[in-house]
Amino acid sequence: MLKTAEVLRKRLGIIYGEDIPLDRAQLVDWCISRFEAWGTSAAMEAFREEEHDGHITLILGGKVIVVDMNLAIDRADSRSPRIRVTSVKTSYAVPGGAAGSTTQGATSLDGFLTDSLGEFLVAVQKDEELQDPEDAARISSRISGSLKYMMML
């Protein structure tokens, strides 16, 4: 059964929708795990820092590029916490530079990733009757593809 599901998910042009958790209390951790999954599927390593004062930093790092995401978590309503992207910063290795040296990434790339991640969070945090799992899956696929493309470059 698991192999059948895996084969069906890999078929091009077919979107089954995101498996958005019904328990709103699990949504924040699920969203962060989706971000990590997109990075690892693009051959990046994911590093999550512990939550501190309602903020989490998630770093997706490849051999050449690093994506540093700052996420704000509002747990005022413990049954329905909210998460949002406060900033995304990319950095990359300097060509011909010293090992380990980095320079700031493109502001437009940072904005694109911030907007894309934010769009995903808005889609999955809608009230249950307004959620569109297929739309969330399309956004997810676009973000995952963008990370893979960045790694290819």
**Report field, pTM of the whole predicted structure over 0.85:** no
Q: Quote the tokens at residue 41.
A: 């599927």
Q: What is the pLDDT of residue 140?
A: 92
Nearest to 113 by CA among 52, 42, 54: 42
pLDDT at residue 124 in the model: 93
pLDDT at 106: 67
Question: Mind listing the pLDDT tens digit of every residue in the chain (153 residues)?
Answer: 767 767 766 665 556 677 788 888 899 999 999 999 999 999 999 999 998 899 999 999 988 889 999 999 999 988 889 999 999 999 887 666 555 545 565 678 899 999 999 999 999 999 888 988 899 999 999 999 999 998 887
pLDDT of residue 23: 85
What is residue 14's predicted lDDT score, i.e. its pLDDT? 59
Sheet of strand 55-61: strand arrangement: 45-48, 55-61, 65-74, 82-93, 102-104
CB atoms inside a 10 Å sphere around CB 47: 14
pLDDT value, residue 63: 86
pLDDT for position 152: 85
pLDDT at 55: 94
Q: Give the pLDDT of residue 5.
A: 66
